[in-house]
Structure 1
Amino acid sequence: METTHGATVTSAEQVTPHMMRLRLRLDDPAAWVSTGRPDEFVHVEVGAETQDADGHSARHYTVSALAEDGFEMEIFIHGDGTGATWARTVLPGDRTDVSEPKAYYQVPEGAGVRLLVGDATALPAIARALAEARADERFHVVIELADMADARDLPSAATVTVDWRLGGNGIRRSILKEALVELSETLLDPAAQAYIWVACESKDSRAIRQLLRREYGLPLTHFRIVGYWHRDLEHAVRVWEEASEETKAQYMALWREDRTDEENWVELEPFLQKMGA
């Protein structure tokens, strides 16, 4: 993990059948500074002995709301991994460490409607984006769930259209790419100047990125695509561990700090395909 901040869990609430909301009080609230972006996340120490695909033993979760002494975060419960088990069993008074927040959501100047697309893991970020939106903003939201019991109200001052769909989430085939194609004559027209934010399973997110770049020619500044999780985490970790040191160095060199993440992905995607990732 990066810089860490001590925190105490103060409450744990089940929001829907597969979503937990935890409230954390930071030891030093002034030392942890929010990005101000609705999809910000932190790495959280949950007692994991194994690393994720990014090399973290901690797990990352969305900051769903801010408080004077800390923040809320929401955790989608799927499977029996270390993170899911921790979220199910954590109790008020339990201690953990969290990282500095990071975020991806950044609407460019002059953008039109905001198109937010994701599976259940993206729901906390989408809910916060809508809750913090201005009245003059417009949103079209597509969320796929494995169980419609996880759907919930998404209050907002903005003008919002929400399309709930069954799919993805490691249980069904994802329909997010097809849902975007359905919007191609309106929101995916470059003239619409839509800002598109997508968060879902890693390979599904990469397929959507290719769709937006190759089929619709959208400017890189008008979309941000994020892989929140891996359907086959063991494969992703194995590909990295079996890569040569030369290949790893080439990968690291492609991810440049002087470019935006989406600019980096232009070269990174074919490189990952060559690696078999």
Structure 2
Amino acid sequence: MSTESVSESLFEPVSLRRVQRVRHDIVRRELRVLRVEPLGPSFRRVVLGGPELHGFVSASFDDHLKFITDPGTEAQAMRDYTPRHYDAAAGELTLEFVLHGDGPASTWAAQAAPGQTATVAGPRGSTVVPTDFAWHLLVGDATALPAIARRLEELPAGTRAIVIATVPHQDDRRPLHSAAALEVQWVDGNQGLLDAVRALALPQGEGYAWCAGESRTSAALRALLVEEKGHDRYAISAAAYWKQGEAGHKPARGQ
């Protein structure tokens, strides 16, 4: 590293220097469905396993892997999903699917049953956000809920977590658990997310904000937090998990 780059890094905000980006080798894995569990009317949890899961790595709560349907055919499609949980000892990878009635992965998940095969690849990298920020704000729609739930389970006691989330149906509003001091606000729709964040008084101390969901909504949430509320622009990630009117949108993160 040059002297100039060292000098520049010293003047970066602490929040930026604390976030680490890690690259992984992309490995394609053929797995088998072990268990399937409904999680309200709009979600289905699928637990995968198999010898090829050995060596799987997911270092961050908002990692995404490629879930591949109809591999090797003209109908092959790839969609991005959060590794909800990985148990190396048990050899199990858990994914949660939103059953939105459209798309190859959602259609597959709706009929998934033990014994079926599944193909995944990745994650190709991780953005590791430390858990010891004084507070964590997690905002998102149904597609963000697996990452939110995973993050909450990772946070230690002594921190504060604020969740603002929207899901398609009242019965999708599941209990969320964390050792952190947890506040959960369920709202209706993307406008509800924006209204709730606008009304929120950000806590004191160094905090990290994470938002994910529809592209325009995530961008609006980032602008609201940084431009209207003065939150540190280096201490926020706003991810576009999907885009209205665009099938197969590739997730994008704004930092």
**TM-score in terms of structure 1 length:** 0.73
| CA–CA separation in structure 2 for the residues paired with 1:198 and 1:50 | 35
Aligned positions of 1:1-277 closer than 5 A: 2-35=26-59, 37-47=60-70, 57-68=77-88, 69-101=91-123, 102-104=125-127, 106-107=129-130, 111-168=133-190, 174-183=191-200, 185-187=201-203, 192-233=205-246, 262=254
Identity, in percent, stands at: 30
Residue 75 of structure 1 aligns to a residue in which SS? strand
Contact 2:131–2:155 at 8 Å: present in 1 too? no
What residue number does 2:4 align with? none
Q: Which 5+ residue runs of structure 1 have no aligned equivalent?
A: 169-173, 238-254, 256-260, 264-277
Deviation per CA, 1:119-147: give whole Å up to 9, x if none: 11111111111122211221011011221
Contact 2:62–2:82 at 8 Å: present in 1 too? yes
**TM-score in terms of structure 2 length:** 0.79
| Cα shift at 1:113 | 1.0
Deviation per CA, 1:62-89: give whole Å up to 9, x if none: 1111122131010111132212111101
Aligned residue-pair number:
225
Instruction: Kindly indicate whether structure 1 or structure 2 has the higher relative contact order, using CA contacts under 8 Å at least 6 residues apart.
Output: 2
- Flag the structure with higher helix content: 1
Contact 1:198–1:205 at 8 Å: present in 2 too? yes
Deviation per CA, 1:194-224: give whole Å up to 9, x if none: 2101011111111122223332343232111
| Cα shift at 1:41 | 2.3
| Cα shift at 1:108 | 7.7
- Flag the structure with higher strand content: 2
Closer/same/farther in 2, CA of residues 236 and 106 from structure 1, 3 Å limit: closer
Residue 143 of structure 2 aligns to a residue in which SS? helix
Q: Letter of the aligned partner of 1:84 in structure 2?
A: S
| CA–CA separation in structure 1 for the residues paired with 2:175 and 2:183 | 12
Deviation per CA, 1:72-114: give whole Å up to 9, x if none: 01011113221211110122121122112244461486x3210
Closer/same/farther in 2, CA of residues 176 and 154 from structure 1, 3 Å limit: same
| CA–CA separation in structure 2 for the residues paired with 1:262 and 1:50 | 33
Q: Which 5+ residue runs of structure 2 have no aligned equivalent?
A: 1-25
| Cα shift at 1:235 | 11
| CA–CA separation in structure 1 for the residues paired with 2:87 and 2:141 | 26
